[in-house]
Copies of this chain bind each other. A is one copy, B any other.
């Protein structure tokens, strides 16, 4: 599982973690029954307080996306296996809104469409490189 938080972006840490785990489950990147890192492990990796992770896991569990099995660990819920197209679409729409926000801000900074396309291309490269260099997660 990949999670990466941006500090100082103004977006609450818990929200960032939630969105990323949720995206991977909805898209099938994380499969049903697959184990998630333990609360403590993820908290350590992200340098975040344990309670912050606990609250995210609890919320996802309350929505039925994951299951916290006492003494065993946390797993993607069985029903969560089939990518849910409605929620996926909702998530994509949210992404589109955020693109709008970035484009507006870029425009206000005086950037044109070409500049913004270039920014995106550079991001794509950076993120691709990240992914390839990331050591595989212990529990994936």
Report which A residues bind B (CB closer than 8 A). Answer: 2, 4, 6, 9-12, 15-16, 19-20, 23-24, 26-29, 49, 59, 62, 71, 88, 91-92, 95-111, 113, 116-117, 119-120, 122-124, 126-127, 130-131
Cα(A49)–Cα(B105), bound, Å: 22
Cα(A111)–Cα(B2), bound, Å: 15
Known interface pairs A95-B106, A109-B95; A100-B126 also in contact (CB < 8 Å)? yes
Q: Which of B6, B27, B116 contacts A108 (CB 8 A)?
A: B27
Cα(A23)–Cα(B102), bound, Å: 12
Known interface pairs A49-B71, A71-B49, A124-B113; A95-B119 also in contact (CB < 8 Å)? yes
Known interface pairs A120-B116, A120-B120; A9-B97 also in contact (CB < 8 Å)? yes
A92, chain B: closest CB distance, angstroms: 6
Please give the count of copies of this chain that the complex contains: 4
**Chain B positions within 8 Å of A19 at CB level:** 105
**Chain B positions within 8 Å of A88 at CB level:** 109
**Chain B positions within 8 Å of A92 at CB level:** 109, 111
Known interface pairs A23-B108, A127-B104; A99-B71 also in contact (CB < 8 Å)? no
A10-B11, A27-B109, A117-B117 given. 11 additional CB < 8 A pairs? Answer: A2-B108, A11-B11, A16-B101, A19-B105, A20-B104, A26-B109, A27-B108, A62-B62, A95-B106, A96-B123, A103-B123
